[in-house]
Amino acid sequence: MKVKVFIDGSSGTTGLRIADRLAERPEIELLSISAEGRKNVHERAKVINSADLAFLCLPDAASKEVMPLLRPDVKVLDTSTAFRTDAAWDYGFPELKGQKEKIKNSYRVAVPGCYASGFISIARPLVELGLVPQSYPFSCTGISGYSGGGKKMIAQYEAERTDPALDAPRSYGLALHHKHLPEMQKISGLAHTPMFVPVVCDYYCGMQVLVPLDLTLAGSTAEQVAEGIAAYYKDAATVKVHALNEALPENGLYSNAMAGTDRMELYLTVNAAGDQMMLVSLFDNLGKGSSGAAVQC
């Protein structure tokens, strides 16, 4: 018997990628809905309730609108920010300690945000292993391809160029407010909200999140940090930790290096004085950072 799966919001970037992946799986039956039905929350709920598992690839409000209408035994994986800090939902990052079993047995899984995945992959082990205090003042920079902005941004970048500003990297969220910040703080176990600046660039997909670490303030050595993170992810099939100060590809990291994959690679460097590190999470914002992560869950 095939597993019945419905993708609510299958016309968006994330939903389309999930549909493409699952269409190749013979054990899965993808359920459909009419164009009119997509506009009616009760019709959407009816299809979801006939499924074994549903992906919600919707704006926050639409996810919140449909959830009260669903059977409690339908497995739901939500890709919006609506439930990522909700205690009734399990966070969909299987490589975090104890999280794989929770996801496996859960009927409500909140798929992480892309930038959040990169930051949490670094900050969570550091705090959990006691390598930095919960009160450490984390900051990070995220660099992403334009596909992370969805259909409107993709169309803007791929149309005939009339705005030369699109040729250059663009920082945003400069008021230090971003929708991923609540999960970045909560899932990492931080006492304070990290300072975060995202940057979008003129390439389709791929992402890197850079987290600087003051080792004196953290109270750890570079070797302790490197050994701790390597041990934390030693059994993770999709996360690779590179050795401390391993030679970087072409003496640098390109943000699109992991494009088209579902893997995440962590790079760790330390300065000559041994008191500062740079920790970098490199992955595809549509892979481990979005649709690939949803399918993994």
Token pair 């059994």 is found at 235
d(CA 89, CA 8): 18
Active site residues: 114
For residue 273 the two structure tokens come to 């004085």
Among 178, 170, 246, residue whose Cα is nearest residue 202: 170
Compute and round to an integer the Cα radius of gyration of the chain.
20
Is residue 142 within 8 A of residue 209, CB to CB? The reply is: yes
CB neighbourhood size of 237 (10 A):
11
For residue 98 the two structure tokens come to 């104890």
Q: What are the CA-CA distances from residue 46 to residues 23, 67, 77, 98, 284 (Å)?
A: 22, 12, 17, 33, 33
